Amino acid sequence: MAEVRYTEDEIRSLDWREHIRLRPGMYIGKLGDGSTPDDGIYVLLKEVLDNCIDEYAMGYGKQIDISITDKGVMIRDYGRGIPLGKVVDVVSKINTGAKYDSKAFKKSVGLNGVGTKAVNALSEYFLVTAFREGKSKTAEFQFGQLKSESKLEPSKEENGTLVFFKPDNGMFRNYRWLPEYIEQQLWNYAYLNSGLKINFNGKTFLSKNGLLDLLEKKTNSERIRYPIIHLKGEDVEIVITHGEHYGEQYYSFVNGQYTTQGGTHLNAFREALVKVARDHFKKNFDAKDIRESVIAAVAIRVEEPVFESQTKTRLGSDRIAPDGPAVRTWMNDFLSKALDDFLHKNPEVAKEMLKRIQQSERERKDIADVKKIANQRAKAANIHNKKLRDCRYHLNEKGTEEGRLNSTIFITEGDSASGSLTKARDVNAHAVFSLRGKPLNCYGMTKKVVYQNEEFNLLQHALNIEDSLDDLRYNRVVVATDADVDGMHIRLLLLTFFLQFFPDLVRNGHLYILETPLFRVRDKQQTFYCYTESEKQAAMAKLRGKPEITRFKGLGEISPNEFSAFINEDIRLEPVYLPEDTNLDHVLNYYMGKNTPERQEFIIDNLRFELDVIEEKAPATQQDEEPAELEEKG
């Protein structure tokens, strides 16, 4: 083994820009390509927006304008504007900002003076202009390095700050902005800041009733058991109801930040809800029965919040202020009075809540024996079979937050596909789960079937989602099936499984479809992998002579060496996105229920469309015969 030198020459001091670019995970979580809502480009957007929100929260500027195009991101607020003499420092000197003075930014999100510096360092172009008291100042950067700085200039613009940036494509490889993720992010800002108007690419986001608007939108297409309970106090706002779905559905916020991973405040709420229900109904219900099918949003404001990472997705503070009460005690005191008072004043709501809890209790007891046997089988199967090939992130007992964010499990059909994936994967981050045959169509069934069906039971144990989605072992759950009819059918059956029993896994952006190339087009010099017919035609045009064309129907047909490119750096994932107005019952019944007239009509209409296309493209000598023949076969 070669000796590793350790002298003065090996010791380096990185400047702020170099450190952010070398260790971006410390500042924005993960990089990604924009296909998941926690990818880095959305964190960059959030870091700039957080500063705008802080201005609004302190009473300055009631509007934010946002424009996102291929050229970059423009954000303009109408707050006080960065002090003109500090414009360059605020976006390029680490640990520089106004938020160290808790009097000015008492309950702000960004307290570390890092946010916009990370955006600057990770952008190929970054511009900031401050407008303040009739004057302006602009600074331009490339990859975090200052390129130009204007003198103070007169301006007729309203006070505020304008930021424009274009993420570095070298860091965020082949990134793309998904409007659905951005709009969800903006709605959260609107719900938490009633009266703030946010304009984004022609759309306006505005909320008058705060979290009540949020939950009404989230439950718009779902059946809820009682009207939404809306509770407000000093530095706390809570909305609660129960639905008919499986699992618990929460939206938690701290100082305007969407804490997707929860934290001490959400844990405190969940505990307090159980205590209030037990005390009010005078029965020691199981905590799971009280929280089953609950839909709630919790927002609090605390002084000097401590988050478990720079991306601020999980609150770590155990107190609401350095010298204040514990978050747990504070939340329990508020909910014990506010919710209990509400239930006493609204007995019909209390009655419906009780009935929903009792229903969950009956369902839990009904599957208890089946669940016990299934868990024993799953434990034995995980020891003796090879359905799950885990990744080193989980095989090593101590994992990092960055490791969890980068972890992926591929769900494949059969040994051939799983074999190729297993050989081609990144063993540190990728796990592979192999299905045997087609899964059951579980639409309309109760959760008992998850334990009775061996494949479903082993899958939920591999994902570790039996008790709570908080325990999900992999950040990305990827359905990887063949590009043929059977593969599409298996894909639909898996989607039905997740939407029927674990819809929050989809809502929270964890479920994806793996896109693999349909064609390989090559000659002796070049090889192209094509995902569509148009890509195939373009590749053929680039090659000289007659190219060799291979149509991939199954994942097992792709060699491990080839597969490596499709599931690592150049992976293409299509997120399974569940719009807020989706009526899950209707969607599942339409696609996976009995053969309804509505679905028959859809198939017939689309079949006719395909026949029309064939007729238009058919040669003149066949136009009178071929469509009629196909019509008879159809």
Per-residue model confidence (pLDDT) at position 634:
32
Per-residue model confidence (pLDDT) at position 165:
97
Helix (H, G, I), strand (E, B) or coil at 307: strand
Question: pLDDT tens digits, residue range 118-129?
Answer: 999 999 999 999
* 169, part of any domain: yes
Q: CA distances (Å), 515 to each of 32, 498, 563, in order?
A: 16, 19, 11
* 470, part of any domain: yes
What's the domain count of the chain?
A: 5
Residue 203 neighbours by CB under 8 Å, 6+ apart: 183
Q: Which residue has the tokens 């930014």?
A: 105
Residue 330 neighbours by CB under 8 Å, 6+ apart: 268, 320, 324
User: DSSP secondary structure string, 614-634?
Assistant: HHHHS-GGGTTTHHHHHHHH-
CATH of residue 253's domain is 3.30.230.10
CATH of residue 110's domain is 3.30.565.10
* 230, part of any domain: yes
Nearest to 124 by CA among 60, 78, 167: 167
What CA–CA distance (Å, rounded) separates 145 from 137?
17
| pLDDT > 70? residue 78 | yes
Clarify whether residues 220 and 303 are in a common domain.
Answer: yes
Clarify whether residues 43 and 84 are in a common domain.
Answer: yes
Residue 160 neighbours by CB under 8 Å, 6+ apart: 55, 61, 76, 77, 78, 79, 80, 81, 130, 131
* 8, part of any domain: no
397 vs 39, more confident: 39
Average pLDDT over residues 317-326: 83
Clarify whether residues 488 and 383 are in a common domain.
Answer: yes
Clarify whether residues 571 and 493 are in a common domain.
Answer: yes
Last residue of a domain, one of 155, 172, 205: 205
Measure the N-to-C terminal CA separation of the chain; round to a whole number of Å: 70
* 4, part of any domain: no
Q: CA distances (Å), 55 to each of 76, 160, 359, in order?
A: 12, 9, 47
The single-letter DSSP state of residue 556 is: G
pTM: 0.74
* 543, part of any domain: yes
Clarify whether residues 37 and 162 are in a common domain.
Answer: yes
Clarify whether residues 571 and 439 are in a common domain.
Answer: yes
Q: Dig out the tokens for 584 from the structure.
A: 């899950």
Question: pLDDT tens digits, residue range 429-476?
Answer: 899 999 888 899 998 888 888 888 989 999 999 998 887 787 888 989
Question: pLDDT tens digits, residue range 132-172?
Answer: 999 999 999 999 999 999 999 999 999 999 999 999 999 99
Count the Cβ atoms, other than its own, within 10 Å of residue 134: 10
* 10, part of any domain: no
Last residue of a domain, one of 180, 205, 230: 205
CATH of residue 422's domain is 3.40.50.670
CB 361 within 8 A of CB 354: no
Question: pLDDT tens digits, residue range 5-39?
Answer: 656 665 556 677 888 888 888 888 788 889 888 88
Last residue of a domain, one of 366, 389, 419: 366
Question: Which of 88-102, 216-230, 231-245, 393-407 has the highest average model confidence (pLDDT)?
Answer: 231-245
Nearest to 583 by CA among 297, 245, 355, 352: 245
Q: Which residue has the tokens 């608007």?
A: 213
CB 559 within 8 A of CB 527: no
| pLDDT > 60? residue 248 | yes
Clarify whether residues 191 and 215 are in a common domain.
Answer: no
Name the band, by pLDDT with cuts 50, 70 and 90, for residue 621. Answer: very low
Name the band, by pLDDT with cuts 50, 70 and 90, for residue 304. Answer: confident
Clarify whether residues 155 and 35 are in a common domain.
Answer: yes
Clarify whether residues 56 and 71 are in a common domain.
Answer: yes
* 6, part of any domain: no
Please state the φ and ψ torsions of residue 21, each to the nearest 5 degrees.
-75, -30
Please state the φ and ψ torsions of residue 598, each to the nearest 5 degrees.
-65, -45
**Whole-number mean pLDDT of the chain?**
84
Average pLDDT over residues 510-515: 92
Clarify whether residues 48 and 181 are in a common domain.
Answer: yes
CB 499 within 8 A of CB 442: no
Clarify whether residues 175 and 234 are in a common domain.
Answer: no
Clarify whether residues 613 and 533 are in a common domain.
Answer: no
Task: State which residues form the domain around 141.
Answer: 16-205
Across 168-228, the runs of DSSP E, i.e. the strands, are 197-200, 203-205
